[in-house]
Structure 1
Amino acid sequence: MPSEYSLSDVLERMYQNQLALEAALMELTLQVEAQGHAEVGDNVRGALYTIGENAGHIKQGLARLKTLP
C-alpha cells in the first residue's frame, strides 16, 4: 500500500485543488461578467484556458507516475 504522502498522492491532491480553483474562478468570472465587467471576464478566461490546457498534461503525467515501480 503506497504511503498517503507518496509523490503521486501529493501531486494528485494538487491537481484536484487546481480543478477546484478553476471551478471557483469560473463561478466568480460569471458573476463579474453579469455585473458588466466583460474585460475582466476575458482576462480571467484567458487564465482559465491555460489551466485547462495544462490539466490534461498533468493528468497524463500523474497516470504515468502511478505506473512506475
Structure 2
Amino acid sequence: MSNDSNSNIATADALTLLLHNQHALGAAIEEVTRWLSENGVEDVAENAIAAMETLDTNARAITDAITRLRQS
C-alpha cells in the first residue's frame, strides 16, 4: 500500500468520525428544537432548524469526500 493510499485512508477515517459527530450534533439540536417548539420559543427553534440544515448540507459534502478518498 502506498503512502498516498495510507494518507487517503487516514483522511477518510478522520472524516468519517467527523461525520458521526455531525450526526450526533444534529440529533441533539433536533431534540432541543422540539423542546423549544413545544415551549413557545418558535424564533429560536427556527434558528436551530437552520443550523440543522447547515449540518445536513455539510454532511453530504463530507460523505462525498469520504467516498472519493476511499475510491482512490
Which residue of 46, 53, 58 maps to 2:50? 46
Which residue of 54, 61, 66 maps to 2:70? 66
Share of identical aligned residues, percent? 32
CA RMSD of aligned residues (A): 2.0
Unaligned runs of 5+ in 1: none
Q: How far off is 1:50 after superposition?
A: 1.2
Work out the number of aligned pairs and report it. Answer: 67
The answer for the alignment partner of 1:28 in structure 2 is 32
Kindly report structure 1 stretches of 4+ aligned residues shifted beyond 3 Å.
none
Unaligned runs of 5+ in 2: none
Could you tell me the TM-score, scaled by structure 2's length? 0.82
Residues in 2 aligned to 1:6 and 1:55: alpha-carbon distance in whole angstroms: 18
Could you tell me the TM-score, scaled by structure 1's length? 0.85
Q: How far off is 1:67 after superposition?
A: 1.3
